[in-house]
Amino acid sequence: METLEEILTSSEVAKWIRVSESTLCRWRQRGMGPRVTWMTPTCPRYRRLDVEQWLARAS
């Protein structure tokens, strides 16, 4: 049985990694944060696995 990947909003990711949404946005603009998937031009989303991998690399 396949499992669906958990997709997170910017707000959820920011709360999880304990930064403000504006910091997450700034990192996204500079290519520094976790990998982002754009659902629409104004709707960024994050795969939980991508955030977990980014955190592992950052530590």
- Calculate mean pLDDT across residues 49-56: 97
Give pLDDT, residue 4.
73
Per-residue confidence at 1, pLDDT binned at 50, 70, 90? low
> Whole-angstrom Cα distance, residue 7 to residue 26?
20
Tell me: pLDDT of 52 over 80: yes
pLDDT in tens, 2-49: 567 899 999 999 999 999 999 999 999 999 999 999 999 999 999 999
Domain range annotation of the chain: 7-58
HEC readout, the chain: CCCCCCEECHHHHHHHHCCCHHHHHHHHHHCCCCCCEEEECCEEEEEHHHHHHHHHHHC
